[in-house]
């Protein structure tokens, strides 16, 4: 049954905009029989601003591109050394609300960090995962026709300086950290495998390792006719 299967795609380094278009295309094209998918990816440097994001939180973007997206929340930074998990899930089929998905993603990341000896937690006023008050994972979602896309990012071993050019997720002076700063060294493949397993555990789903998106499949998704008039819900990155 589709609701018990999670297809995992490891996409490597991808530009942000084509991936965003691919997520929207996948969501528009899916039907009741479409299995849920988890896309694991890394991006070149980019700032993304949420649907209702305020440009005042972009302090000094400089040469780093800024992309206005349709996820919830304010501004965040993506760059090399950060693992991003995009969650293309049919929430209606699971009987889930957005809050359940947020909790599942946060708990999966917390469990991953705990496995590496890092004590992490959440904040009631700001979605995401924190270590000693510093943000290590940011979360932003969009739900359209009962199906989610966008997802959660985990700072692994990245240049954290660009976060000083913004108010991360709309919070001035928000401290940010990564696994490397905490003395944790872990490979991308290991972390991807672990996070996928922990998210699948939260969903009570069985992982199916899908092949990487072929360039043909990728072009098809990015060229999909995307409707901007559909009713949408969002959860803020914070």
> Into how many domains does the chain fold?
1
Interval 7-46: pLDDT, tens: 999 999 999 999 999 999 999 999 999 999 999 999 999 9
Enumerate the β-bridge partners of residue 154: 83, 137
Question: Which of 169, 179, 196, 237 is an active site residue?
Answer: 169
pLDDT of residue 82: 98
- Alpha-carbon torsion, ordered 198, 201, 202, 208, to 10 deg: 90
Enumerate the β-bridge partners of residue 129: 137
The per-residue b/e assignment along 10-48, b for 16 or more CB within 10 angstroms, e otherwise, is bbeebebeebbbbbbbbbbebeeebbbbbbbbbbebbbb
49/78 Cα distance (integer angstroms): 11
Print the domain residue range for 23. 2-235
Q: What is the CATH number of the domain that holds 203?
A: 3.30.930.10
199/135 Cα distance (integer angstroms): 20
Question: What residue spans of the chain are helical by DSSP H?
Answer: 16-29, 91-94, 98-115, 188-203, 215-222
**The overall pTM is greater than 0.75:** yes
Is 237 designated active site?
no
For the chain, list residues with pLDDT below 50: 1, 211-238
Q: Find the radius of gyration of the CA atoms of the chain.
A: 16
Tell the burial category of 213 from Cβ atoms under 10 Å away from its Cβ (0-12, 13-18, 19+). buried
Interval 86-106: pLDDT, tens: 999 999 999 999 999 999 999
64/73 Cα distance (integer angstroms): 19
């Amino acid at each position: 049954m589709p609701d018990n299967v999670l297809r995992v795609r490891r996409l490597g380094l991808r530009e942000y905009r084509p991936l965003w278009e691919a997520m929207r295309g996948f969501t528009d094209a899916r039907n009741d029989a479409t299995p849920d998918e988890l896309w694991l990816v890394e991006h070149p440097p980019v700032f993304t601003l949420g649907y209702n994001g305020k440009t005042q939180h972009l302090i000094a973007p400089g040469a780093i591109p800024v992309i206005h997206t349709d996820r919830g929340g304010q501004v965040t930074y993506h760059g090399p050394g950060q693992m991003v998990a995009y969650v293309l899930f049919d929430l209606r089929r699971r009987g889930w609300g957005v809050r359940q998905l947020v909790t599942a993603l946060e708990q999966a990341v917390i469990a991953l960090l705990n496995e590496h000896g890092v004590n992490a937690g959440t904040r009631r006023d700001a979605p995401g995962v924190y270590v000693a008050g510093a943000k290590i994972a940011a979360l932003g979602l969009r739900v359209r026709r009962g199906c989610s896309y966008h997802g959660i990012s985990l700072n692994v071993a990245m240049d954290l300086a660009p976060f000083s050019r913004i108010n991360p997720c709309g919070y001035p002076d928000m401290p940010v950290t990564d696994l490397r700063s905490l003395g944790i060294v872990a490979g991308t493949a290991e972390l991807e495998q672990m996070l996928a397993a922990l998210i699948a555990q939260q969903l009570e789903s069985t992982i199916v390792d899908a092949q990487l998106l072929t360039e043909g499949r990728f072009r098809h998704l990015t060229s999909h006719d995307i409707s901007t008039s559909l009713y949408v819900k969002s959860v803020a990155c914070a």
